[in-house]
Amino acid sequence: MCSAAIFKLKSTLMANSSLINMAKSLLLNDKVIALPTDTVYGLAASIDSTKGINRLYEIKSRDHNNPLAICLADVDDIAEYAKITIPKSLLYQLLPGAITVIFERTSKLNHSLNPGTKLVAIRIPNNEFVRELCRQSVPIALTSANISSEPSCLNIQAFEHLWPMIDGIFDGGQLGQQDPKGLGSTIVDFSTEGYYRIKRDGCVYKSTVQLIESYHLKRLTS
- Please give the residue that has the higher pLDDT: either 4 or 121: 121
Report the pLDDT value the prediction gives residue 69, as an integer from 0 to 100: 98
For the cut 80, the answer to whether the pLDDT of residue 3 exceeds it is no
Average pLDDT, the chain: 95
Instruction: Count other Cβ atoms within 10 Å, centred on residue 147.
Output: 14
Task: Mention every residue, 6+ apart, whose C-beta is less than 8 A from residue 160.
Answer: 1, 2
Report the pLDDT value the prediction gives residue 212, as an integer from 0 to 100: 98
CATH number of 5-219: 3.90.870.10
Q: How far apart are CA 101 and CA 122, in angstroms?
A: 5
Q: What is the pLDDT of residues 36-62, one digit of tens each?
A: 999 999 999 999 999 999 999 999 999
Report the pLDDT value the prediction gives residue 138, as an integer from 0 to 100: 86
Of the listed ranges 67-71, 102-106, 218-222, the least confidently predicted one is: 218-222
Residue in 48, 179, 183, 73 with CA at minimum distance from that of residue 123: 73
Q: How far apart are CA 25 and CA 167, in angstroms?
A: 11
Q: Is 201 left (phi over 0), alpha (psi -120 to 50) or beta?
A: alpha
Q: What is the pLDDT of residues 175-199, one digit of tens each?
A: 999 999 999 999 999 999 999 999 9
Of the listed ranges 4-13, 49-58, 167-176, 196-205, the least confidently predicted one is: 4-13
Report the pLDDT value the prediction gives residue 2, as an integer from 0 to 100: 52
Report the pLDDT value the prediction gives residue 20, as an integer from 0 to 100: 96
- From first CA to last CA, the distance across the chain in angstroms is 45
Of the listed ranges 1-5, 139-143, 145-149, the least confidently predicted one is: 1-5
Residue in 39, 5, 3, 29 with CA at minimum distance from that of residue 19: 5
Question: In terms of DSSP H, where are the helices of 61-191?
Answer: 78-81, 88-94, 128-136
Return the domain boundaries, the chain: 5-219
